[in-house]
Amino acid sequence: MKEYLVETDLILDHLTYKGSLKSDLEIAMENGICFTTAINASELFFTAKNEVEIKYINKVITALKILGINSRYSLAVNEFAGNVSSVRDAIICATAKINKLPILTKDPDNYKSTGLNIIHPNELRG
């Protein structure tokens, strides 16, 4: 079964999706196992404006597998220095690399210099 490390942009898009077709996150979840990190979950909860938003974020987050931030990831962060714009992105890259997961994001250019497998959700739609 395929596995993906889902970036925050895809989760936010799902939470605000108003289309009649399935969201990109729903397609990914049908195609494989979706992981995200404690960082991504924290970003979502940090931006929540009220209890209703927190409720919906919680529903989505519990449907994903959440990876904690292990101290061994910090050992791999330096490998991505200069290839991404922030420590946050370097931690996401280290998490993806160590767990052998492709990063699923609507902004693949953000990770284009990392050498990691980066997937845009359009690739899952066939």
Q: What's the Cα-to-Cα distance from 12 to each of 20, 71, 108, rounded to whole Å?
A: 17, 27, 16
How many domains does the chain fold into? 1
Q: Which residues have a Cβ under 8 Å from the Cβ of 100 and sit 6 or more positions away?
A: none
Q: How much is the pTM? A: 0.95
pLDDT tens readout for residues 22-77: 999 999 999 999 999 999 999 999 999 999 999 999 999 999 999 998 898 999 99
Sheet strands (E) in the chain: 2-6, 32-37, 65-67, 103-104, 118-119
Query: For residue range 35-47, what is the model confidence (pLDDT) as tens digits?
Result: 999 999 999 999 9
Q: Which residue range forms the structural domain that includes residue 59?
A: 2-15+22-124
Report the CATH number at residue 36. 3.40.50.1010
The predicted-structure confidence for 70-124, as pLDDT tens digits, reads as follows: 898 999 999 999 999 999 999 999 999 999 999 999 999 999 999 999 999 999 9
